[in-house]
Structure 1
Amino acid sequence: MAMMQRRGGVLAGTAALIGLVFTLAATAQPTPPPPAVMVAEVTAEPVSRPAEFIGRMEAIRSLDIRSRVQGFVTEVPFEEGSAVRRGDTLFVLDPAQHEAELASVEAQLSRAQATAEEAQRSLGRSAELRRTNTVPQARVDEAQAVYDAARADVLAAEAAVRLARLTLSYTRIEAAIDGRIGRANFTTGALVGPDSGALARVVQLQPLRVVFSVTEGMIVDFREAQRREGAIAPDLALQLRLPNGSLYDLPGRFDFLDSEVASNTGTVAVRAIFDNPDEILLPGQFVTVIVAARATERRPLVPFSAVQRDREGPFVFILGENDTVARRRIETGARLPRGWSVSGGLEAGETVVVQGTQRLRDGLTVRPSRQGEGS
């Protein structure tokens, strides 16, 4: 019996010693610090549900440069791809042949004028002799006919001179519009004429228009607004998204609604004009046309990184008192460039966790830092 009591005491002492060791070990373990998270305040921003359409840029004015007369190209004074102004010389043709033709018709005009002057003097003499009954009336009539014919010859010669001068002016081909000129299709020494096709092309780049198609229902709204307000959809704003994904800085304005619905697509063509002072937009370029309401309601906006999803839907972690977090179910709305608009479950001014959400749970204390603050 004494032996059993001694063994029991040893076992109890051993158990107590082991418990003490575990207690000391647990006491020695440091408490982990609260997890660091990044937080941001929920803001209220205008929210709209813009409609997007694929459009193509077009030049409002463009011009193919053509030659009205035949001749050899002697000068091409423009730089390909450069801006040109109305009246700038683009091509010069050899004027020698047309100068000779002008000189010839000018000589014919001088001859006709001299003949007309002589006929006028002869008519004057005949009229004087008729007053003294020296010559018959038939002589006067004949002189009058000769003078009239001579005057007609003068008019014909003057017309020929004007035509020759006009033809000579065509040897200097000028820009008829402001714009940017493309490549030259003919170089110095080439023989060109009315049948040669375009020598070059000038395109007006400021402003440009975009052409896109909208549904029949939207076009009815446009027409009703035009009837009420005198303008096409004055409550809608137009913006472009460029091929690189960036938004174009300048807004557009509606210009034209087509008068027919395309039977194969059920859509209507719309044109809008965009100023293009820096010539970022180019004809033929495909862009995305964004049509949105000018006046929109304001809703909470939460960053994309703050929104988590599970089987029940989207949620965020809200930073509460004493730096504790709580899970909050939300209803997301439109996807905007900087985050989700929120239609329910969240108010502007609340603070949400935007980074470090992986190991969070309700009631956990965190170490928050504001987005944008220095480390």
Structure 2
Amino acid sequence: KQARAEEERARAEYAAAAASLEQARLNLEYTRVEAPISGRVRRALVTEGAFANQNEFTHLTTIEQIDPIYVRFSQPASQYSSLRRAVVSGLWKGVPLGEIKVRLLLSNGEEYPHSGRIIFSDMAVGPNTDTIEMRALFPNPDQELLPGAYVRVVFDRAVRDNVFVIPRDAVIRTAQGASVFVVGPEGVLEARPVRADTLNGREWLVSEGLRDGDRVAVSHTMSLRPGMKVRSAAARPQPHAQQ
């Protein structure tokens, strides 16, 4: 009986020692804080030897991910909706949905040499700003971009085929729709219905109704009438006109 009691006492002491060892290992782990991400560590907010409360959150420092780096920005809801509809319908080419490329303009006006891509778009519109929060991911191998800096986000332009850009005053809009005056082979004016749904500055983007080689009257349109014979001349290009 005495030998069995000593054996049980020895087992109990061994279990207590094992528990103490495990507690010591756990306490040792509390002295090391491993970051879940890699990046650059900012200044320490807690000095060495200070007590960190186990029951409350203690802010030790902040780790900033530098390469790659995230850029957060807001896009007007109207522009985002128009772009999405155009991409889905196939009207715009060169901008695959979900892989929209973006560029950055730095605060000094120079363009950042690396392009990024959209990786997140919020599903809700901000009620106070009417914008959609978005996030892009950019490579930052030279650490030129720093957290907290302000930059301008530029979307790469898409290519839209079979679209004609004409001056705003050349389009006549009535209750029946939009139309332009086209000069025929004999110099006779013809009223041609067109589809002009997008106004880009001072030019209309005409997607239907015009063909290559058509000559459109761009001046004095309010005094023109179908069937009139005119003499056409090349219009002066405007500095802000886009092809």
State TM-score, norm by structure 1. 0.36
CA 254–227 in structure 1, closer or farther in 2 if over 3 Å, else same: farther
Of 192, 214, 217 in structure 1, the residue corresponding to residue 50 of structure 2 is 192
What does residue 213 of structure 1 align with? 74
In structure 2, what is the Cα distance between the partners aligned to 1:257 and 1:205? Answer: 21
Alignment-derived partner of residue 266 in structure 1 = 130
Matching residue of 2:38: 178
> Which structure dedicates a bigger proportion of its chain to strand?
1
Partner of 1:278, secondary structure, is coil
2:19 alignment partner, SS class: helix
Which secondary structure does the structure 1 equivalent of 2:52 belong to?
A: coil
Structure 2 residue ranges without an equivalent (≥5): 91-95, 162-234
Q: Distance in 1 between matches of 2:19 and 2:88?
A: 52
Pairs within 5 Å for 1:109-128 = 122-123=3-4
Q: Superposed, which structure 2 residues align to 1:39-50 within 5 Å?
A: none
* Change beyond 3 A, Cα 1:151–1:257: farther
Structure with larger RCO (C-alpha < 8 A, sep 6+): 1
Whether the 8 Å CA contact 1:225–1:233 is kept in 2: the answer is no
Structure 2 partner of 1:27: none
Which deviations, in whole Å up to 9, do the C-alpha atoms of 1:286-328 show, x marking residues without a partner? 110001224467xxxxxxxxxxxxxxxxxxxxxxxxxxxxxx8
TM-superposed deviation, 1:215: 2.3
Over 6 Å off, 4+ runs: none
1:140-179 superposed matches below 5 A: 147=8, 151=11, 154-173=14-33, 175-179=35-39
Q: Give the SS at the match of 2:127.
A: coil
- Give, in whole Å, the separation in 2 of the partners of 1:173 and 1:227: 51
* Aligned AA (1:331): Q
The verdict on how the C-alpha distance between 1:199 and 1:227 changes in structure 2, with shifts beyond 3 A counting, is: farther
User: Once the 2 structures are TM-superposed, how far is the Cα of residue 225 of structure 1 from its aligned partner?
Assistant: 5.3
Amino acid at match of 1:246: E
Identity of aligned residues (%): 35
Gap change, CA 1:174 and 1:213, over 3 Å in 2: closer
Number of aligned residue pairs: 162
State the 1:285 CA deviation: 0.9
Instruction: Specify every segment of 5 or more residues in structure 1 that has no aligned partner in the other structure, as ranges.
Output: 1-118, 124-142, 298-327, 335-340, 344-375
Mean Cα displacement is larger for which, 287-296 or 252-261? 287-296
| 1:264 partner SS | coil
Shift of 1:273: 0.6
1:285 equivalent in alignment to 2:149: yes
Conserved in 2, the CA contact under 8 Å of 1:252 and 1:275? yes
Structure with more helix by fraction: 1
